[in-house]
Amino acid sequence: MRQILAALLLGLSLAACSNDPSSAQQQKPSATAPVMPADSALASLYASTCMACHAAGIGDAPVAGDIAAWKPRMQKGMPTLIDNTINGFRGMPPLGSCSDCGEEDFRELIEFMASDPAATAGQESGS
């Protein structure tokens, strides 16, 4: 846990140093360097649930940080997305396999996955 926190803090300080917009554009989500929520409680929830499918796009799951993939989903509206997560949606099991998650957790997890990884702290900044 301590190591995860240190990694998050390192990511935060690296991200703070690279305010160059051209380098931000090169940051693409990838399966080898999964994006993580900045909040450590949310990060551990994400890592033990949604990440299993949404980091690499298992079964056509929209990949976390891939704005284009999430855009048509977000257009359904957050209440629909939360409902679909709770009830299951095509390839996704009910509750996204997170039996401990509440609606508020799902909202935060969905907002994180649909957001730009360059704007979140856990992102590795590369060069």
The footprint of ligand HEC (CB under 6 A) covers 49-50, 52-54, 58-62, 73, 76, 81, 84-85, 89-93, 96-98, 101, 106, 109-110
* Residue number, 97 or 125, with CB nearest to ligand HEC: 97
60 conformational bin, left if phi > 0, alpha if psi -120 to 50, beta if neither: left
Q: How far is the CB of 111 from ligand HEC (least distance, A)?
A: 10
| Contact (CB, 8 A) for 15 and 55 | no
Quote the least distance from Cβ 75 to ligand HEC, whole Å: 9
Q: Compare residues 12 and 95 and give the one whose CB is closer to ligand HEC.
A: 95
CB atoms within 10 A of CB 17: 8
